[in-house]
Structure 1
């Protein structure tokens, strides 16, 4: 009860956080979304997609799409073109089957002005609340934060839109995966 009261007090300042990764917040916010869910996912949480909470999260997103017409977009940020593989393609195809709009962007291939700035995982709900996951130096998820401060959410929304516009859709991603599997690397030749 003390923890809940603490979160409510923090929310009066339009921000609260908790240690670790809070799947319940993410799923509950998805179920409450009325217009949009925009997510940036880094390679850090790729293993998440094979977990039980991921199934509930995807189910909640599909319910939001089917039941309330919520637009769900996910941008996968990749550290290297070497991450363009069949596993990533299957992940994107699974989500597209649920009518989630999915794109991917390879960070080193982005224009310099887009390579600078935040590349943390975050989800924007109805362009009003930002759900953010903070990682430590070992890429372990150490904190979850909810923020409804308008200036912060506006900055996150701008960042999402810039990166989304620079990303590849599923068809372009399929071509890239095929080319890179054939040894025709477009970038990252080291």
Structure 2
């Protein structure tokens, strides 16, 4: 509506100016040449009036042309910015996927994750979208922390435990204290032991477990039966009694930890109630070497566990050696 009024206003202004110029020209020709033919006067008036009208249209055209140039320049700048931003995003995505392809890690999981994440963007539920973003953020933080050598989560993470056991290739060296004693009677423990049995039987993985206790009185028949159930799965087991160990080994008693392939350490830290407060994965070489050395010192200071009811000092036959 405003544009239409502006056009009408300009048209009226052009008409008035043209009329004024034409009238002035006619009057001027009468003053300057009274004897001139009337046709000549009208011709001059029309020509000059037309010229005035043409000049106005030319000025209007130039104004519109300048406005269009400015508009095109602004649009070109916006378009260029948008294209550069798009190409920057494409280049970043291309670079990331190129790095994934060059990595020794399998890239199919990353591709599946990216595709699934984009599909979730079409979900109508805002809750699903928000939850997906939180999960992606958590996974990204976990990968960043692991790449720096250590990642920690609150509580006990049985999924890490089972996944690492599924991935292990050569050895598992684990300690077990009274903090996780009840764990062995849980559903998660059944899956964990099944994964260890598969690793031993299918991939020839050596699995060693040290049960750490403070006194001889804690070596109960229940603990010995637990050790026997582990040996039945191909797991080497020993019980380390702190008060019976040599001082050099006694000083190395520790909280629960599991070393996978001598490359990664899974550790739990107990709280005041002696329950797992947090779980950590560590890949620092010096830390791993210290844990491996600590495990071997205690392992070498103990003997294979007797079968329940066996005579004292008799080593269990078939202690789960791989």
TM score, norm. by length of structure 2: 0.53
| Structure 2 residue corresponding to 1:90, chosen from 225, 233, 253 | 225
The superposition leaves residues 122-154 of structure 1 with CA deviations (integer Å, 9 ceiling, x where unpaired) of 000000000000112321100000001100000
Query: Does residue 1:48 correspond to 2:183, yes or no?
Result: yes
Deviation at 1:166, TM superposition (A): 1.1
Deviation at 1:84, TM superposition (A): 1.2
| Structure 2 residue corresponding to 1:67, chosen from 194, 198, 202 | 202
Deviation at 1:113, TM superposition (A): 2.0
| Structure 1 residue corresponding to 2:260, chosen from 125, 130, 134 | 125
* Distance in structure 1 (CA, Å) of the matches to 2:169 and 2:245: 32
Deviation at 1:109, TM superposition (A): 1.3
The secondary structure found in structure 2 opposite 1:89 is helix
Q: Which runs of 5+ in 1 are unaligned?
A: 178-190
* Distance in structure 2 (CA, Å) of the matches to 1:138 and 1:175: 36
Deviation at 1:76, TM superposition (A): 0.4
Equivalence for 2:298: 163
| Structure 2 residue corresponding to 1:28, chosen from 160, 163, 169 | 163
* Distance in structure 2 (CA, Å) of the matches to 1:168 and 1:176: 11
The superposition leaves residues 29-65 of structure 1 with CA deviations (integer Å, 9 ceiling, x where unpaired) of 0000000011011111110110000000000000000
Instruction: Considering Cα pairs closer than 8 Å and 6+ residues apart, tell me whether 1 or 2 has the greater RCO.
Output: 1
Equivalence for 1:4: 139
8 Å contact kept, 1:37–1:71: yes
Equivalence for 1:107: 242
Length, aligned pairs only: 178
Q: Which runs of 5+ in 2 are unaligned?
A: 1-134, 314-322
Greater share of strand: 1
Task: Pick closer, same or farther for the CA change 1:109–1:24 going to 2, 3 Å.
Answer: same
Equivalence for 1:148: 283
TM score, norm. by length of structure 1: 0.89
